[in-house]
Amino acid sequence: MSVLAEFSMSPMDKGESVSKYVARNLEIIADSGVPYRLGPMGTCLEGEWDEVFGVIKKCYERMSEDCRRISVAIKLDIRQGASDRLTAKIAKVEKLVGRELNK
Amino acid sequence: MSVLAEFSMSPMDKGESVSKYVARNLEIIADSGVPYRLGPMGTCLEGEWDEVFGVIKKCYERMSEDCRRISVAIKLDIRQGASDRLTAKIAKVEKLVGRELNK
Amino acid sequence: MSVLAEFSMSPMDKGESVSKYVARNLEIIADSGVPYRLGPMGTCLEGEWDEVFGVIKKCYERMSEDCRRISVAIKLDIRQGASDRLTAKIAKVEKLVGRELNK
Amino acid sequence: MSVLAEFSMSPMDKGESVSKYVARNLEIIADSGVPYRLGPMGTCLEGEWDEVFGVIKKCYERMSEDCRRISVAIKLDIRQGASDRLTAKIAKVEKLVGRELNK
């Protein structure tokens, strides 16, 4: 199974700018060894269920140390017999459209 | 911590009607003992992180037995020192609005 | 077409408690005449595309008057030849499960 | 106001592979002139409210021509006095982390 997850996690009680907290999570993600890709609205991870949710839980535990209210959105696309979808999904769409897309 | 989660999980490869698969998940959820509430677009659960994600993982494992592609959306609102938010959040909004709302 | 939408909208710059802003939106929603249902994690609306997004835009315009950063999540389930799904989807799942569910 | 939106839109009634329908939407998006960025789990758009939702509605109208059930997820991050956030948000996080990230 390829579990492709996109997630975003933000404190609600730290005011308008939350990039410090997002950066902290990205360190956890980059150090995890799980393939990932940072986007403007969230980070995509690919792996087995427990790998992916292991990383998300670590981010949550770190954020809960100093944040009182946390908002999280997780979207999953899980598919049997698939792999390398962090890059393969975009490549397939681009091929079908037949021109270069912004990515 | 009160981890309030709403999630929906659907097979992509079973055609237009997926209520059979949703019903199967609701049996898992209702049997879990974790407080829940079924809505038109998803099910809300409230508990600790591991309780909530334990139930969601069970639903995923059951669905992956006979579905090849699965789409999942999870939204979390996590708050320190809060509880009973499956009902308390709605009650608070209704009190502030000062009239009965559809719920 | 039945456009069934669930949405949540919160300011990021008003601290931990945002119920005042949610309540203000619920007044707009309840006054719109579009069928709705308030849940613990968002509000479901049912109508045509323009009806549903007309209400959501009104909520956004009101919130942008005094909030500098706003987070919104919208999930849509759109289906031809369907109607009354604010109640019908839950009823169908409950019938399939064969017992009363929390709702 | 910078309305930064990520959205994904898939038919529920066309089986496991939906890339044909995603590609069709990407043509609409790329032709719209609204700045966008394709990712593994959705497409981000940046503009004013009506620009962004104008593009999403066009995608919906095209898909509803030959699909009976459609699932859509939209996430918005709206911020006053901000711009160019399709690239600026990632750059800021990378600077804070102090090393190159996968993006």
pLDDT digits (tens, 9 = 90+) for B23-50: 999 999 999 999 999 999 999 999 999 9
In this predicted structure, the answer to whether residue A74 has a pLDDT above a threshold of 90 is yes
With 90 as the cut, is the pLDDT of residue B13 above it?
A: yes
Report d(CA D43, CA B62) in Å as an integer: 30
pLDDT at D68 exceeding the cut of 90: yes
Confidence of residue B1 (pLDDT cuts 50, 70, 90): confident
Q: Are D12 and B18 in contact (CB under 8 A)?
A: yes
Question: Which stretches in chain C have pLDDT values below 70?
Answer: none
Query: Residue B20 — pLDDT band, cuts 50, 70, 90?
Result: very high
Q: Cα–chain-centroid distance for residue A24? A: 13
Model pLDDT, residue D26: 98
Q: How many Cβ atoms sit within 10 Å of the Cβ of residue B8?
A: 20
D8 contact residues in A (CB cutoff 8 A): 75
Residue with tokens 């209400």: C55
Q: Element (H or E) spanning A8, and its range?
A: strand A2-11
Taking the Cβ of residue C20 and every Cβ of chain B, the question of whether any pair is shorter than 8 Å is answered with yes
pLDDT score recorded for residue A102: 96
Q: What is the DSSP letter of C2?
A: E
Residue D83 near chain C (CB below 8 Å): no
pLDDT in the model for residue C1: 81
Based on the number of CB atoms within 10 Å of its own CB, is C99 exposed (0-12), middle (13-18) or buried (19 or more)? exposed
pLDDT of residue C56: 98
The alpha carbons of chain A give a radius of gyration, in whole angstroms, of: 15
Question: By the 8 A CB rule, do A48 and A4 touch?
Answer: no
The complex scores an ipTM of 0.97
The mean pLDDT of chain A is 97
pLDDT mean across residues, chain B: 97
Would the CB atoms of D13 and B10 count as touching at under 8 Å?
A: no
User: What pLDDT is recorded for position A1?
Assistant: 81
Q: What pLDDT, in 10s, does the model give residues A36-52?
A: 999 999 999 999 999 99
Answer whether D27's CB lies under 8 Å from B30's CB.
Answer: no
Structure tokens given for D5: 């939106």
CB contact under 8 A, A80 and B69: yes
Q: B37–C40: do the CB atoms touch at under 8 Å?
A: yes
Q: How far is Cα C8 from Cα B6, in angstroms, rounded to an integer?
A: 12
Phi/psi of residue D56, nearest 5 degrees: -65, -40
Q: Per-residue confidence at A28, pLDDT binned at 50, 70, 90?
A: very high
Order of strands across the sheet that contains B43-47: A36-38, A43-47, A2-11, A69-79, B69-79, B2-11, B43-47, B36-38
With bands split at pLDDT 50, 70 and 90, how would you rate the model's confidence at D13?
very high
> Three-state DSSP class for A16?
coil
Neighbours of chain D (3+ CB pairs under 8 A): A, B, C
The pLDDT assigned to A90 comes to: 96
β D2-11/D43-47 pair status: antiparallel
* Interface contact C89-B19, CB threshold 8 A: yes
Among A46, C11, D6, A72, residue whose Cα is nearest residue B75: A72
CB of C70 less than 8 A from some CB of A: no
Mean pLDDT for chain D overall = 97
d(CA B92, CA B88): 6
Q: What is the pLDDT of residue C65?
A: 97
User: Given strand C69-79, what is the order of strands in its sheet?
Assistant: C36-38, C43-47, C2-11, C69-79, D69-79, D2-11, D43-47, D36-38
Q: Among partner residues D8, D86, D102, which is closest to A36 by beta-carbon distance?
A: D102
pTM of the complete model: 0.98
Return the sign of the alpha-carbon dihedral for residues B72, B73, B78, B82: negative
C-alpha triplet B48, B64, B2: angle, nearest 5°: 10
